[in-house]
Amino acid sequence: MSGRAGRRGQDMIGNVFFYDIPLPKVERLIKSNVPQLKGQFPLTVSLILRLMLLAAKADDKADARAKALSVLKHSLMSFRKERYAEILKIYFMFSLQFLIKEGYLDQEGNPIGFAGLVTHLYYYEPSNFVLVSFLVKGLFHKLCQPIKGSTVFSEDVLEKLVLILANLFGRKYLPACSMKYKRTFCQSKVFLEDLPEDFADAVNEYNTKVEGNFAHFLLTTAELADMEQEYRLPLSKTGRKFLEWSMIRSVELSSCGSKDVGLTKQAVFRSLGINVTNCPLLYLNKYDNQGRRRPLNAYALDFYKHGSLIALTTDNWLNEGDAYYALKDFSLLLKSIGTSLSELCDDPNDNVLLAFQQLGKIYEEKLKCVT
């Protein structure tokens, strides 16, 4: 069977051709119900910043604005659903508010500061925003101190830098049960250590600011929710008032900056297709359905230390292909951060810039040795 259903908004009908299919099956297919198509939530804060960057930097600004508006307006999620279109507008406004407050846009909507770095790393949201928060707070400048009398950094500094970046950008989780194998590996540490305390505190501070901004988004969009559907249990289809209390209470906890993340994560609006994952929050810990913490795989840091792809396959539970491409992505990430910082930094001898450039070269050389 092959064919085309037609182009959305242009074609009224489409054509389908059946080849070598029994007639009873063709009749059954024609008479069957059409499956419901439902688009995913299409926007992220990074995407909105990229659209603002496109509109501000393009030579043909009118054309750029038209393209940006086309992305915002023509989402499958909002197709023929005015309520979803309203949600996207509200999300866009709250995202703009966040970007202005955090110094990525000026009052006119023009990208400023670290906007370029964030958009380069858009596929790592929310870690891209957390990285910038570390830079703004001066944590990297405090860490990246070269060996006295030189511009070279010690192994301790570079390893700590890899540890921090692996916690942000190399987040591959292992099952909670893997912890029982601790201290039984040959070359790798396998389980990634937590962020240093000052960096972890900065992440919590960042999350608090994001919750304060986006909890109001959840509260605003809650007014658009189909409450009858929200109260209905997914399997039995029966309603329960407890769901109303749970949802409202969890959003209230978000808006007041509560640290009860368990309840905050319950702020889910099924009828709207949104939840707190649409907010750029970085949760440092992840738990399985039994409440056990899942450790992060230390593959990026382990490879930096021993440079062995084979060790990652024997110790880190990665097959060779996945391990190589994960390391390649991490190496490209270091290169991208170094390039972005060089464009932003007026001083070519800035310690943070030099540290990222040195680390990027070392990691790239180690990766070349295994190819």
pLDDT tens string 267-319? 455 556 666 677 889 989 988 888 889 999 999 999 999 999 999 999 999 99
Look at residue 37 and tell me if it is in a domain: no
pLDDT of amino acid 262 = 37
Q: With a cut of 90, say whether residue 226 has pLDDT above it.
A: no
Q: Once rounded to an integer, what is the mean pLDDT over residues 118-136? A: 96
- Looking at residue 256, what is its pLDDT? 44
Last residue of a domain, one of 132, 155, 176: 132
Q: Does one domain contain both 148 and 270? A: no
Are residues 51 and 102 part of one domain? yes
Q: Are residues 50 and 173 in the same domain?
A: no
Residue span of the structural domain in which 56 resides: 45-132
Range 27-44 average pLDDT: 76
Look at residue 156 in the predicted model and tell me its pLDDT: 96
Confirm if 176 and 290 have CB atoms less than 8 A apart.
Answer: yes
Which domain-ending residue is among 106, 132, 158? 132
Counting runs of H as helices and runs of E as strands, what totals does the chain give? 16, 6
Q: For residue 282, what pLDDT is reported? A: 93
Do residues 277 and 329 share a domain? no
Do 13 and 151 have their domain in common? Answer: no
pLDDT score at 276: 67
Residue 243 included in any domain: yes
Q: Is residue 289 part of a domain?
A: no
Q: What is the mean pLDDT of residues 242-260?
A: 44
Share above pLDDT 90 across residues of the chain, in percent, rounded to a whole number: 52
Last residue within a domain, chosen from 225, 258, 283? 283
Q: Is the domain of 146 the same as that of 124? A: no
Task: Give the Cβ contact number of residue 275 at 10 Å.
Answer: 15
Q: C-alpha dihedral over 100, 106, 109, 111, to 10 degrees?
A: -100
pLDDT, mean of residues 187-206 = 95
Query: What is the rounded CA–CA span in Å between residue 354 and residue 275?
Result: 40
Share of the chain above pLDDT 70, in %: 78
Assess if residue 40 is contained within a domain: no
Per-residue b or e along 126-144, where b marks 16 or more CB atoms closer than 10 Å to that residue's CB: bbbbbbbbbbebebbeebb
Quick one: which H or E segment has residue 46?
Answer: helix 45-57
Residue 170, pLDDT score: 95
Residue 38 lies in a domain: no
Please indicate, yes or no, whether residues 73 and 90 belong to a single structural domain of this protein: yes
Same domain (yes/no): 162, 212: no
Mark whether 184 and 317 lie in a shared domain: yes
CB burial string 157-175: b at 16+ within 10 A, e below:
bbebbbbbbbbbbbbbebe
39 domain residue, yes or no: no
Kindly state whether residue 288 falls inside one of the protein's structural domains: no
Residues 211 and 269 in one domain: yes
**Are 126 and 137 in the same domain?**
no
Q: Are 193 and 166 in contact (CB under 8 A)?
A: no
Residues 126 and 51 in one domain: yes
Q: How far apart are CA 220 and CA 7, in angstroms?
A: 34
Q: In the predicted model, what is the mean pLDDT of residues 104-133? A: 95
Does 175 sit behind a cis peptide bond, omega within 30 degrees of 0 on the bond before it?
Answer: no
Please state, rounded to an integer, the average pLDDT across all residues of the chain: 83
Structural domain contains residue 223: yes
Q: How many independent structural domains does the chain possess?
A: 4
Confidence band (pLDDT; 50, 70, 90) for 121? very high
Residue-level pLDDT at 219: 73
CA distances 238 to 82, 226, 242, 270, Å, are 27, 15, 12, 15
Contacts 24+ apart (CB under 8 A), 226-230: 226/271, 226/272, 229/270, 229/271, 230/269, 230/270, 230/271
| Residue 271 confidence (pLDDT) | 59
